[in-house]
A and B are shown apart, each in its own frame.
Chain A
């Protein structure tokens, strides 16, 4: 007995000592890479946003312009439009994309006919490259050869060039985003549904609940934490939305379809106004952090 106890305490102390050194060696590369490429740059960005800087030489004191970049930004009509468009994206996600994903999850979540095949079809767009997706929908919405326009003309309507209209181009982006991402949210919901206790459904059925009532009173409360999580992902994803904008509209026409990040790219990097672009980045960062912390604190506090 004593020998075993001795051995155990020996192993425990061994564990603590050698564990410490091993942990240092094992975790160091990950921590270093993470710090070098994520943490350090964001601090640099925060600093540079107070300078009128083209990014070439280190910004000097005479280029310090305080909050000027931020003031310019807030007064910029294109940036206001980009904020509005990003808000539209969030709205379309929450009120079209996610409900569509939830409805499809309800229809293909179980073991009914065709469920697995439909699941795969709905999820497929999520793994395709954004650039390819954007080009596909650029074609669909093209005023000359696009499907929408051609079908409209079949029925005697006018040709429709959605992406050529500064006010409507964003709708094309919303449709493409819905197409690409609703299947991802559907998969999240399906994963959540599989954790719901079967007996709840049986109990509801005995109580006479129909399919719709079982969905509303058992399924939805059962996956409430998953829904809260998917809302969180949807909002953060919309705030960072960029890749689909480039092949669809490039932010045009007349800068009508920019998002926050496409604005950052075209007006910051594209025009080598690093300080100005960093100010956009800082605004976006602050929005994201406020959303993330606020959401976790107020909405997801019990998850």
Chain B
């Protein structure tokens, strides 16, 4: 009996051990190919920023023969370049602060308070999730103009907050719900106001979700192009993506110079991503999954 069973076991084992190395090899081969597809464009961009145009033609993949750091000098001396970086930064920060200040109390109300029309109002906000930003860009432009916010940073910040609200409130409400209702109840009996409960109990317990919302909001604001394009006119107000397109127009086919600007744009994003990837991935995918 045992003699007959043994070979069967052995073949299964053999199969498993045999299948693994080849499977792993194929897996790695595929992964490295796709990783190449992702990384080669980034790498040739970063390296191309240090080459002459002639060398781009002859040596698109390798290290530059002469490292032309002077392209970076060109970036840093462009008029408005620091202003644009500063604009993008301040627009992003203010968008984050207002988003937190507006979305968190609303999320608290939807998570822990019972009031008339609660579900209706929540669904009303959630409409924003499937609402295409782009369809509204024209009327939004007119609305911003009528409010006198054209060519101001508020004209970007407020709509950005409005369009981010649906997912921010949803993410925060789901997280706030993890604070036990009994805790809120107990605090109420002890005489704490809702504002106090929100500020001293719920918020401190929800710092991870606040960070997630903050980072995602900042990344979206930093990358936003369509809205600033429509709202801003003067170069001194421009955010970085607008500046980037302007530089391209300026240098048209001076690719090393353009690639330098692109590198300056993506490097901070890559560094921030590596530092905060846990929050970024959680925020960008959780917002989607829980919709």
Q: What is the CA–CA distance of A40 and B165 in the complex, to the nearest angstrom?
A: 16
Q: What is the CA–CA distance of A131 and B111 in the complex, to the nearest angstrom?
A: 38
What residues of chain B lie closer than 8 Å to A211, measured between beta carbons? Answer: 19, 23
Q: Does A37 lie within 8 Å of B143, measured CB to CB?
A: yes
Q: Which candidate, A61-69, A72-80, A186-194, is the interface stretch facing chain B?
A: A186-194
- Say how far A272's CB is from chain B's closest CB, in angstroms: 11
B159 proximal to A (CB < 8 A): yes
What residues of chain B lie closer than 8 Å to A120, measured between beta carbons? Answer: 273-274, 277
Q: Does A127 lie within 8 Å of B189, measured CB to CB?
A: no
Query: Which residues from 139 to 158 on chain A have a C-beta closer than 8 Å to any C-beta of chain B?
Result: 139-140, 142, 144-145, 147, 150-151
Instruction: Supply 9 further A-B pairs (C-beta < 8 A) apart from A45-B139, A123-B281.
Output: A11-B185, A15-B114, A19-B194, A29-B105, A31-B121, A40-B143, A121-B38, A147-B41, A210-B19
- Nearest residue (CB) in A for B58 is A150
B188 proximal to A (CB < 8 A): yes
Q: What is the CA–CA distance of A145 and B198 in the complex, to the nearest angstrom?
A: 58
B232 proximal to A (CB < 8 A): no
Q: What is the CA–CA distance of A191 and B232 in the complex, to the nearest angstrom?
A: 39
What residues of chain A lie closer than 8 Å to B131, measured between beta carbons? Answer: 38, 42, 288
- Nearest residue (CB) in B for A100 is B34
Q: Which candidate, B73-81, B204-212, B251-259, is the interface stretch facing chain A?
A: B251-259
Counting from the closest, the 10 A-B pairs by CB-CB distance are A41-B139, A37-B162, A26-B105, A45-B139, A30-B106, A129-B223, A23-B115, A26-B109, A22-B194, A145-B56
- Nearest residue (CB) in B for A16 is B114
What residues of chain A lie closer than 8 Å to B27, measured between beta carbons? Answer: 107, 112
| A122 partner, pick from B35, B139, B188, beta carbons under 8 A | B35
B262 proximal to A (CB < 8 A): yes
| B102 partner, pick from A33, A239, A264, A284, beta carbons under 8 A | A33
Q: Does B42 lie within 8 Å of A45, measured CB to CB?
A: no
- Which residue numbers of A lie inside 8 Å of B, CB to CB? 7, 11, 14-16, 18-20, 22-27, 29-31, 33-34, 36-38, 40-42, 44-45, 48, 55, 100, 103-104, 107-108, 112-114, 118, 120-132, 135-137, 139-140, 142, 144-145, 147, 150-151, 179, 183-184, 187-188, 191-192, 210-211, 226, 229-230, 233, 236, 239-240, 242-243, 246-247, 261, 264-265, 268-269, 274, 277-278, 281-282, 284-285, 288-289, 292
> Do A274 and B269 form a contact, CB below 8 Å, given A30-B103, A118-B31, A145-B53?
no
What residues of chain B lie closer than 8 Å to A236, measured between beta carbons? Answer: 130, 132
Q: Does A281 lie within 8 Å of B226, measured CB to CB?
A: no
Query: Number of contacting residues on B, CB 8 A?
Result: 103
Q: What is the CA–CA distance of A23 and B109 in the complex, to the nearest angstrom?
A: 5
Q: What is the CA–CA distance of A36 and B142 in the complex, to the nearest angstrom?
A: 12
> Do A147 and B139 form a contact, CB below 8 Å, given A11-B188, A132-B265, A135-B248?
no
| A37 partner, pick from B105, B135, B140, B265, beta carbons under 8 A | B140
- Nearest residue (CB) in B for A286 is B135
Q: Does B142 lie within 8 Å of A274, measured CB to CB?
A: yes
Q: Does B143 lie within 8 Å of A41, measured CB to CB?
A: yes
What residues of chain A lie closer than 8 Å to B159, measured between beta carbons? Answer: 37
- Give the one of A38, A179, A246 with max B CB within 10 A: A38
- Nearest residue (CB) in A for B168 is A30
Q: Does B285 lie within 8 Å of A33, measured CB to CB?
A: no
B291 proximal to A (CB < 8 A): yes
Q: Does A187 lie within 8 Å of B23, measured CB to CB?
A: no
> Do A38 and B128 form a contact, CB below 8 Å, given A16-B114, A30-B169, A269-B138?
yes
Q: Does B105 lie within 8 Å of A36, measured CB to CB?
A: no
- Give the one of A23, A42, A125 with max B CB within 10 A: A23
Q: What is the CA–CA distance of A132 and B124 in the complex, to the nearest angstrom?
A: 35
Q: What is the CA–CA distance of A257 and B114 in the complex, to the nearest angstrom?
A: 51
Query: Which residues from 18 to 57 on chain B have a C-beta closer than 8 Å to any C-beta of chain A?
Result: 19, 23-24, 27-28, 30-31, 34-35, 37-42, 44-45, 48, 53, 56-57
